[in-house]
Amino acid sequence: MSNTSVRSIRRSDLARATGCNLETIRYYEKIGIMPDPPRSVKGYRSYDDTHVKRLKFVMRSRDLGFSLEEVRGLLGLVDDRCRTCAEVQMIAEDHLTDVRAKIADLKRIERVLSDTVARCTGDAAPECAVIDALLDA
């Protein structure tokens, strides 16, 4: 047994340590992204550094645009000591393909919107190129 002491913190401290909203932490626990923490003698949830590390992993994954299901898959690989880099790479490459498709869609939207706004006079006339383009869609 190790002599390393484990820091025990409450959910509000976990939220402060990670910058994550309390309700988000509750949600992640409810859907199984975050494990249910043990309880103290007084019945309080008792988090430790492993919870902080896991929640930071989840938040960084979400910042990079991974869906909750993709995060669940990544966490499964993290939790599985037999994981391979190839498995992680496959998930990341699939996600990168999705990101590139979204970027292409956003560029298309930008072109259409830019062209439409450029046709708008911006004066007090009731005719508006933006409204017309939306009505004609």
pLDDT at 74 over 50: yes
Instruction: Give residue 97's pLDDT.
Output: 97
Q: How far is it, in rounded angstroms, from Cα 102 to Cα 122?
A: 30
pLDDT class of 137 with cuts at 50, 70, 90: low
Topology annotation, domain 1-83: Multidrug-efflux Transporter Regulator; Chain: A; Domain 2 (1.10.1660)
In tens, the pLDDT along 34-58 reads 998 998 888 888 999 999 999 999 9
The amino acid at 61: S
